[in-house]
Amino acid sequence: MNPRRKQRLAIVCSIILGAGGIIGLVLYALSQNIDLFYMPHEVVHGKDDNKVKPFIGQRIKVGGMVKVGSVKRNNDDLKVSFVIFDKTEEITVTYEGLLPDLFRDGQAIVANGNLVSPRVVKASEVLAKHDEQYTSPEIAEAMKKQYLSDSTEKPAYNY
């Protein structure tokens, strides 16, 4: 093989390997920053047919309804804990900061945070729906699937 062709082949191969390495690193970094959405029963039992559960320390978004009477506020600081539920399971969410103005018992919420134990999420952000007609698309879809697939009675929630 001609030395000039060898040099070109080496340059092309190194460019392809470098681009492949960069793409691999970008994909790895993105996979570490993806927040997956879960309902409480999916956190406990796993998601879909393959029953993939989030692992301890994983960043997730969890959505559900705030259980009436479950909100516990610390008088000394801004720490608050509450229980969110769906039809079958309940999980506890802990949060330090100001809650949205629309946060209340019976409210549909989405919490972004880390799973610290199988039934506890430490939230870094809590989002509440903005009016009576709106529920986040993920919660609405999950609630419709869960409630309408195995029940003929209509739940008392707007979705």
Cα 159 from Cα 151, distance rounded (Å): 16
Residues 6+ apart with CB under 8 A from 128: 99, 100, 101, 102, 103, 107, 108, 109
Position 147 scores a pLDDT of: 58
Cα 156 from Cα 65, distance rounded (Å): 11
Write out pLDDT tens, residues 76-107: 888 999 999 988 899 999 999 999 888 888 88
Write out pLDDT tens, residues 32-79: 667 678 889 888 888 877 788 888 988 899 999 999 999 999 888 889
